[in-house]
Chain A
Amino acid sequence: MAEYKGMAQPSRAGEKDMRKIHIEPIPDEQKPEKALEYLDYYRKKFRSFVMAMESCTKCGLCAENCHTYLGTRDPNNIPTNRAELIRKIYRRYFTLEGRWFGNLVGAEDISLDVIEQWYSYFWQCSECRRCAHVCPFGIDTCEVTMAGRQILHWLGITPKLHADVGAAMERVGNHTGLPKPGIIDTLEFMAEECMDEFGIEIEYPVDKPDADIMYVPSSADFLLNPYTLMGAGMFFKYIGANWTIPSTVTEAGNFGLLFDQRYTQRHNVMRLLNAAQDLNVKKIVWGECGHGWRAAKMYVPSLADRPVRWDITHIHDEIAHLIRTKQIKLDPSKITRPVTLHDPCNYVRACGLNDNMRTCIKAAVSNYVEMSPNGADNFCCGGGSGILFDDKQMYQKRIELSWKKAEQVRATGIGKNGDGILCAPCSICKAQLYPMVEEHELGVEVKGLIDLVGMALDWK
């Protein structure tokens, strides 16, 4: 189903797909009652959710600060209105004002229509948290989207894309379903490419026991972003690292964060910790993946079922550290095309990567143009939280959701001559922007940040 009563919806996972990720779908007639039960559970557990339900004054500041609303102009995509889709139910059943005054305070009975509304709008939100950043109270509407998606998931309503990714993660340890032989083949091919293109000899150690560093790449780097993985390979070779890629976790992402913060997300965390223990590594370094980095940095401590013995840092942190301490040398004259940086939401609003990304990019390229707004104020690419749906109606939405981003890129002027580089160091941003820079005719090529660092390394 791509639409429900005029609302766009991503195509949803079937019953079989849901069972693969351990969910037994609830029959339609029981959904409203069950939704209330799960909502009650959620509100009693998550203060971030309760506060988003109970402290908004409807000042409206979030409206003009949400790329989803700016792109679609659909009132339900104003962050506080999106939260209102749950808040109206929350009020009706869990607050005195809602029980007594009903309509006057905007309370509404639960129904299947409301649940379908949730499915449409919570899957148009990018969970980018720009609304939390601008809100005078700091209300994190992302927490409401997460609650909505979790409740929908327990009801058995999850986009097929996300359910399949969750199942693939459990099966082979990455989102794309790539098995170990495929991983090794691809990495050998990349090493050859590196030799052909850059004249640099590298290898990718897979499952190397007792390596110092466990590098967790995004699985999209094996297929869509080869230069990111090649850049990482060259970087580790350049510094002479004893590193390895674990075949059981060839995935920096964790889609559990986006649709199921219980089983799916937790399972991926355990997988990671098991891999680190089995390979007996000393440190975990993360690859380019926005939501995945947030999941690793901020959620591993609260989801792990045992003490975490390893520091987890991002490869940008490490590269920036080596640049600042003058241990590695980059030659910016190798990349003279105009470059701008799209700050991935999770990096700048949830993980504090702002400065380190700039340290890397300014050392790697000679013509850097800052986007406006940037850093923590930046707008999302429109694909955030993996809403990379390909069915016709949702793809159309993706074009609308990236409208603000397109405007920002155009304003930098880097695409004037058609040779600009839009650096978007996050797999979801890349997957969204590859087609979107074409749709919006921006005259730029999308690249990762490690791609640029790898190319700029000064080997002499």
Chain B
Amino acid sequence: MKLLIGQILPFITITIFVLGVFYRLGRWVGARIVHNITLSDPWLKSGGEVAVKIGTEAFLFRSLFKFDKALWAGAFIMHFALLNVLGGHIVGFGLLGEQFAYIPGITAEMSKDASNLLGTVFGIVLFVSIAYLLIRRLTIKEVKSIGNSSDVIWLVYLLLIVGVGNIMRLFHQFHIEYEPVRDYIVALFTLQPVVGMELLESPFFLIHFLLVQILLIVFPFSKLMHLFGMFAERWIVNRVYHDPAPGMPNIDVPAARKAGLGLPSGGGGESASEGV
């Protein structure tokens, strides 16, 4: 079992994840943008404006902020915490918590403390914000009516992963050190003789690691693809558009007004000649 989860499954997971994502992206690219359905709210006049529009939507959740602050709060905080937690996993394990020591004046010890603190805080924030989104999904009539079972299951599943992760952080006896994890991962992916398999003795680590792998396997075939879908969709509706120039051919308004066009009598030139 440990062999399966610790040494075989990771390769299957990564293969399915990568191929699956390409499969989905391929489906999207296969269909074309047939008509110009750019949104004019307002027109975007340059690539820079497009980047700002898509960027503020993707990273600040601009529309949510404008139209539903409560949803924005939950969604933005959740994704922001998630981004930090994922980033924390990479730099935390990768640099053993000493990532902040690159900043002048910060010692390795201070960096480790900061890393621990940030990890703990974002872990809790992530858990709470997912719980908030789950409660919202179960209590607001409209949101309840649009969801399927899978929408709820995903949130519960994320709570499980984050919850188990938090247990390893918050309870000293279940704590996992950075170093063995790094050594295990490095060995695994450089195809070296495996080290650190004793990590999987910890039931929490085992569950956390397994759940994440299952998530990555299902990811390409699920709603989690909105990570990429967001950009693919915006690529269709937020494009550069230039209006054709206004101005009609052979128009000379002053001349027309001087001639008194439209005025039946007394207006001037043309109509005066018709007389009364």
Q: Which residues of B contact A322 (CB under 8 A)?
A: 253
Contact indicator A104/B148 (Cβ below 8 Å): yes
Q: Is the CB of A212 within 8 A of B248?
A: yes
Contact A348 B31 (CB under 8 A): no
Chain B nearest CB, measured from A375 CB (Å): 8
| CB-based contact B41/A302 at 8 Å | no
**CB pair A97 B221 closer than 8 Å:** yes
Within 8 A of A (CB), among B41-65: 41-43, 57, 61-64
Min CB gap B157→A, angstroms = 13
Contacts of A279 in B (CB 8 A): none
Q: Is the CB of B263 within 8 A of A201?
A: yes
Query: A237, B262: Cβ atoms under 8 Å?
Result: yes
CB distance from B272 to the nearest CB of A (A): 13
* Inter-chain contacts of A44 with B (CB < 8 A): 30-31
Residue A328 at the chain B interface, CB threshold 8 Å: yes
Q: Are B236 and A51 in contact (CB under 8 A)?
A: yes
Cβ of B275 within 8 Å of any chain A Cβ, yes or no, is no
The answer to whether B222 touches A58, judged by C-beta atoms less than 8 angstroms apart, is no
When the two chains form their complex, are residues B264 and A65 in contact, meaning their CB atoms are under 8 A apart?
A: no
State the Cβ distance, A95 to closest chain B Cβ, in Å: 7
Cβ of B237 under 8 Å from chain A = yes
Chain A interface residue count, CB cutoff 8 Å, equals 90
Check if A136 sits within 8 Å of B31, measured CB to CB.
Answer: no
Q: Is A30 in the interface zone, CB < 8 Å from B?
A: no
In the complex, A330 Cα to B36 Cα: how many Å? 35
Question: Using Cβ atoms and an 8 Å threshold, which residues of chain A touch B149?
Answer: 103-106
Interface segment, B115-123, B181-189, B227-235? Answer: B227-235
> Is B246 engaged at the interface, CB distance under 8 Å to the other chain?
yes
B-binding segment of A138-146, A153-161, A219-227, A444-452: A138-146
Across-interface contacts of B222 in A (CB, < 8 A)? 97
Asked if A1 is at the interface (CB within 8 A of a chain B CB), the reply is no
Query: Complex formed: what's the CA distance from A82 to B74 in Å?
Result: 25
B232–A51 touching, CB < 8 Å: yes
Q: When chains A and B are docked, how far (Å) is the Cα of A200 from the Cα of B24?
A: 63
In the complex, what residues of A have CB within 8 A of residue B148's CB?
58, 104-106
Q: Is B244 an interface residue (CB 8 A)?
A: yes
Q: Would B230 and A45 count as touching, CB distance under 8 A?
A: no
Residues of A within 8 A of B68 (CB): 61, 64
B259 at interface (Cβ–Cβ under 8 A)?
A: yes
> B214 interface residue, CB < 8 Å from A?
no
Stretch in B100-108, B138-146, B170-178, B202-210 touching the partner: B138-146
From B221, B230, B246, give the contact of A321 (CB < 8 A). B246
Contact B40 A237 (CB under 8 A): no
A237 surroundings in chain B (CB, below 8 A)? 261-262
A240-B256, A301-B36 known; A459-B263 Cβ under 8 A = yes
**Given A96-B221, A134-B63, A138-B39; 20 other pairs, CB 8 A cutoff:** A46-B32, A50-B31, A54-B27, A55-B226, A56-B223, A57-B226, A59-B64, A59-B71, A60-B146, A63-B142, A136-B75, A138-B233, A138-B237, A201-B262, A201-B264, A201-B271, A240-B261, A285-B248, A298-B36, A321-B246
Residues of A within 8 A of B (CB): 43-52, 54-61, 63-65, 69, 75, 78, 80-81, 84, 95-97, 101, 103-106, 129, 132-140, 142-143, 195, 199-202, 212-213, 234, 237-242, 282-283, 285, 298-299, 301-303, 311-313, 317-318, 320-322, 327-328, 348-355, 375-376, 459
Give the A-binding residues of B (Cβ under 8 A): 24, 27-43, 57, 61-64, 66-68, 71, 75, 140, 142-143, 145-151, 153, 221-223, 225-226, 229-230, 232-234, 236-238, 241, 243-257, 259, 261-264, 267, 271
